[in-house]
A = this chain, B = another copy of it.
Amino acid sequence: MTMDSPPLGLRERKKRAVRANLSAIALRHALERGVSQVRIEEIAAEADVSPRTFNNYFPSKEAAIIDSATMRAERLCELLAAQPGELSLHEALSAALMTLFEDEPDRDWISRARLIRAEPSLFAEAAKADLDIEQAVALEIGRRAGVDGATCLAPRLAAATVVAAIHAAVAFWLDANDGTLREAIGEAMSQFRIADIAPGGA
């Protein structure tokens, strides 16, 4: 799609650095004091930035904490598209997820995931982001099967259940402290089936 990776101007690099910095500080504050005690003013001060600038990057502190916590939907879509067409939908999704969760998450990701599950305001913010992910996955599933992923029920259902399965697996793994996340994802995918999508369907 848009691949301007190499020519990344100073401008864009600085913006991304500021954004990542603000997000990291926000997460740390939230872990140390609790989300409700996080103050935008303090985050901005620590990042050497005006408070107004914070709200220039994020509409709320929750958004800052969540930022970059969402697994990238584009990556999942790419992996799904890369699976051989002979595989059933369920097999292709499983294989894509096994690749997506190839490397175990780092400490920041884990503590952030725990925090999101513990704090309703963060959970709500994350749900908004997951909606976009789900739609993107539905579109890719639809493309793969030759149907409209935006309107037909089947691809949307498949996307919704897969995202739900990932959530359940992550939540289980966070609670269980046992085995790898990859294994939890795999076990989840093995415990339900998604019907293949027939292109000729109504």
Report A133-159 residues with CB < 8 Å from chain B CB: 151-154, 156-159
A127 CB contacts on chain B under 8 angstroms? 123-124, 127-128
Closest to A197 in B: B191
Would you call A98 an interface residue if the criterion is a C-beta within 8 Å of the partner chain's C-beta atoms?
Answer: no
List the number of copies, as a whole number.
Answer: 2
Provide the bound-state CA to CA distance between A151 and B172, in Å: 7
- Pick the residue among B125, B156, B157, B191 that contacts A195 (CB under 8 A): B191
Contact with B along A101-134 (1 / 0, CB 8 A): 0000000000000000000100111011001000
A95 to nearest B CB, angstroms?
18
Provide the bound-state CA to CA distance between A157 and B124, in Å: 20
A167 CB contacts on chain B under 8 angstroms? 160
Closest to A189 in B: B157
Would you call A100 an interface residue if the criterion is a C-beta within 8 Å of the partner chain's C-beta atoms?
Answer: no
- Pick the residue among B157, B172, B176 that contacts A168 (CB under 8 A): B157
- Pick the residue among B125, B187, B193 that contacts A192 (CB under 8 A): B193
Interface size on A, residues (CB 8 A): 36
Q: Are B195 and A192 in contact (CB under 8 A)?
A: yes
Provide the bound-state CA to CA distance between A193 and B191, in Å: 9
A88 to nearest B CB, angstroms?
13
Q: Are B191 and A169 in contact (CB under 8 A)?
A: no
A residues in contact (CB < 8 Å) with B: 120, 123-125, 127-128, 131, 151-154, 156-161, 163-165, 167-169, 171-172, 175-176, 184, 187-188, 190-195
11 inter-chain pairs at a CB distance below 8 angstroms, sorted by A residue, are A120-B128, A123-B131, A124-B127, A152-B172, A153-B172, A157-B168, A157-B192, A161-B192, A163-B164, A190-B195, A191-B195
